[in-house]
Copies of this chain bind each other. A is one copy, B any other.
Amino acid sequence: MTVRAASRVPQEERTRAMRARLMDATVELLVERGFSGTTTTLVSERAGVSRGAQLHHFPTKNDLVVAAVAHLTERRGEELAAAATRLPDGNQRTRAVIQMLGDHFAGPVFTAALELWVAARTDDTLLEAVAPLEQLVGRETHKMTVQLLGADESQPGVRELIQATLDLVRGLGLANTLGDDTPRRRRILDHWAATLDTALHTDGGKK
């Protein structure tokens, strides 16, 4: 048993590492070439994985891309959680939280997700994988934003303002895909943070 376990673990690790390389390569190619330009041949070359091994784990492009969706979902969560640990406290916090979200949705991980999202719109197989994961990401990001802002969703309108904030950063993320929109985004989000602070405070005070 000990010998078999010992030999099995490295094999599992190698498989896991190979799958991770394939997923990373898929995400990179989605950003660089878009969904239609992401071919299984390019992925295996980029990942340094033989075609045989790749086809064994992911027989079709859709299998590869669907697995990459899940991988990407995890990376988006990790990226946000890591950024959240670097946030300041005090009166600059709302601004920092909002800018963090804005930067996240303007980054390559959002771009790859956007490619899958748009492809899924007209591809039912992909939609089955993408839709529930996007809902999960949406819920998790919402929960995290509420916590980071210390918002009280029992107050009327607070939930909708948080939702609006997340739809706003998604819209800004989309605007950023045709060219670097960072200065405009930063300016808009600074003003939005001030408005949000007032709105959250006003709503809280009224009740």
Enumerate chain A interface residues (CB-CB to B < 8 A): 32-37, 111, 114-115, 117-123, 127, 130-131, 134, 157, 160-161, 163-164, 166-175, 177-179, 184, 187-192, 194-195, 198-199, 202
Contacts and interface: CB of A to CB of B under 8 A. Distances in A.
Contact of A119 (B34, B131, B188): B34
Contacts of A160: 187-188, 190-192
Number of copies of this chain that the complex holds: 2
Contacts of A118: 34, 114-115, 118, 177
Given A157-B194, A170-B171, A120 B178 contact: yes
A184 B163 contact: yes
A120 B171 CA distance: 17
